[in-house]
Structure 1
Amino acid sequence: MKLVRYGARGAEKPGLIDAQGRLRDLSAHVRDIAGPVLADLSPLAALDPATLPLVEGNPRLGACVGNVGKFICIGLNYSDHAAESGMAVPPEPVIFAKYTSAICGPNDPILIPRGSEKTDWEVELGFVIGKTAKYVTEAEAMAHVAGYFVVNDVSERAYQTERSGQWSKGKSSDNFGPTGPWLVTADEVPEPNNLNMWLKVNGETMQSGSTATMVYQVPFLVSYLSQFFTLHPGDIISTGTPPGVGMGMKPPRYLKAGDVVELGIDGLGSQRQVCENDA
């Protein structure tokens, strides 16, 4: 299934994309695409999409997961991205938080923070927990994943690396977490560790890679994270980015108002954002 949330920000409704690519409403069946629903997707899987109301027009798409509890990110998870960042591949995954107030729809604008000169892009594979995970093994891990989606891990590099402290303040500005367009359920993504991914700025390809080159792949990440804290249904994890970010270019290149960012992952859809200066 391809599950979506659509409508005005803060008032999104649950929906489903049918085999013809049409949006259908799920409001009669679930309140939201969020933790309790993700813990048991079988009632939605049993529905005949043809019986669901069609949604007319082209409504705004919200983030494909609602009421997110934790937004966990993995840093330097592609060896070639680590190299372009001037950093070594870590002996264990780098974990940082992206605060949930950064989450927005896949086509909402990127808001460049006041005074920012180094706002950057990162196409990433995201996944959402569907079954509570605590001290799980790698062999058990995939049973705890509900589905996958595209994330743009928008980053302000000066805030992240030049102003001391943890990375989160450079990762969590408003609209720094475009998520979606769809949540593709795990049964439709048999090889999450072998997906092509891409990102363009103003039509120019900046990133072109594959999840196959991740250092730490999805089963390991679920198991690893669950050793430190419990993962709950609705928690989302963003798994890192391939090379081609603005920080790694010579000279570095960053986003400015009016730039258009497009990105996608095979089978998971695409996003499009126009950059704006934040008020």
Structure 2
Amino acid sequence: MKFATVSAGDKQLYGAVVDGGFIALSPDFPQWPSLRQVIEAGALADLAKAAEGRAVTHAEGSFSYDIPVPNPEKILCVGVNFPDRNAEYKDGSSQPKYMSLFPRFARSFTGHGQPLIRPPENHTLDYEGEVAIVIGKGGRRIKAEDAYDHIAALTLCNEGTIRDWVRHAKFNVTQGKNWDKSGAIGPWLVPFTDPAQLDEARIITRVNGEVRQDDVLSRMMFPIREEIAYISTFTTLVPGDIIITGTPTGAGARFDPPKYLVPGDVVEIKVGGIGTLRNTVEDEA
């Protein structure tokens, strides 16, 4: 079952994505205003049961996708998490002892099918295909061996970046990572039920049909279990928090010359068992 947050007319709804469209379920569960509260209640299974046998309420094309979890308390991103990605820096470093982390704000993302926005201040908009996990059971100092028990669902992320702005300071990438609608999350949430969903996952990023990134999550320098354990050491994870787990080599900045995104480009990020996140590119109006 796939669960999404969508906009239809002037209403934001959550529900199930099925063949032919969307089944709105939020009107049946007023106690849970958004998928964030559904996750906090551990109630994705309740949504799945409510969707059984129901007819589509919104046909494909009559709604637009929003980011699946509105207003999460935290969105934390893991940087430089594949061996080939680390080698791109050409500094001779081996795997670092600790993972690199940075925050993103919810408004820096848009939904599936929506345009990524290139700002007028700088045109080095780049793509980064990644798997994102959504925390279902909160906790502090979570052990790595218990980490998967804290995941509610999986989704995809295009962790879009304004490359020139990550170089504005010596130790800080935050300003290059948080331009409004420069990235995307979606299309939906897939409940996490089997470790193989992550352990055997392959991520492929295409730009205008050309494969730019292709790697498997099992090659991550810091596996997702370790990400959850490390992050929860210093901050309490809560339901609805999102961890964006790392991108493979092949981002546009690493080509010679760089292949930054331009208006009209189409970026697709695909992971078997989760789906395909698709976005176009537009200049800011």
TM-score normalised by length of structure 1: 0.92
| Cα 1:113/1:146, change in 2 over 3 Å | same
Superposed displacement of residue 235, structure 1: 0.7
Residue equivalent to 1:204 = 210
Residue equivalent to 2:157 = 151
| Cα 1:54/1:119, change in 2 over 3 Å | same
Residue equivalent to 2:39 = 37
Partners of 1:133 and 1:231 within 8 A in 2: yes
Residue equivalent to 2:24 = 25
Superposed displacement of residue 22, structure 1: 4.2
Q: 1:83-107 CA distances to partner (integer Å, 9 max, x unpaired)?
A: 1233533211101001222121022
Aligned counterparts of 1:9 and 1:207: Cα–Cα separation in 2: 36
Aligned counterparts of 1:140 and 1:9: Cα–Cα separation in 2: 42
Residue equivalent to 1:56 = 59
Higher mean displacement: 9-18 or 134-143: 9-18
Residue equivalent to 1:84 = 88
Gaps of 5+ in 2: none
**Are residue 5 (structure 1) and residue 5 (structure 2) matched?**
yes
Partners of 1:193 and 1:211 within 8 A in 2: yes
Partners of 2:20 and 2:56 within 8 A in 1: no
Q: 1:200-219 CA distances to partner (integer Å, 9 max, x unpaired)?
A: 11221111111121111111
Superposed displacement of residue 117, structure 1: 2.9
Partners of 1:39 and 1:146 within 8 A in 2: no
Superposed displacement of residue 259, structure 1: 1.7
Residue equivalent to 2:69 = 65
Matching residue within 273, 279, 283 for 1:273: 279
Partners of 2:140 and 2:233 within 8 A in 1: yes
Aligned counterparts of 1:99 and 1:160: Cα–Cα separation in 2: 15
Secondary structure of the residue that 1:124 maps to in structure 2? strand
Matching residue within 169, 172, 186 for 1:166: 172
| Cα 1:36/1:222, change in 2 over 3 Å | same
Partners of 2:15 and 2:47 within 8 A in 1: no
In structure 2, what residue type is equivalent to 1:247?
A
Secondary structure of the residue that 2:253 maps to in structure 1? helix
Residue equivalent to 2:228 = 222
Q: 1:48-69 CA distances to partner (integer Å, 9 max, x unpaired)?
A: 5213653223211111112211
| Cα 1:143/1:212, change in 2 over 3 Å | same
Residue equivalent to 1:139 = 145
Matching residue within 119, 141, 145 for 2:125: 119
Identity of aligned residues (%): 29
Superposed displacement of residue 251, structure 1: 2.1
C-alpha RMSD of matched pairs (Å): 2.0
Secondary structure of the residue that 1:187 maps to in structure 2? coil
| Cα 1:156/1:48, change in 2 over 3 Å | closer
Residue equivalent to 1:175 = 181
Aligned counterparts of 1:102 and 1:15: Cα–Cα separation in 2: 23
Residue equivalent to 1:15 = 15
Structure 1 or 2: more strand by fraction:
2
Q: 1:94-142 CA distances to partner (integer Å, 9 max, x unpaired)?
A: 0100122212102211111222132111000100111111011112211
In structure 1, what residue type is equivalent to 2:88?
E
In structure 1, what residue type is equivalent to 2:135?
I
Gaps of 5+ in 1: none
In structure 1, what residue type is equivalent to 2:197?
E
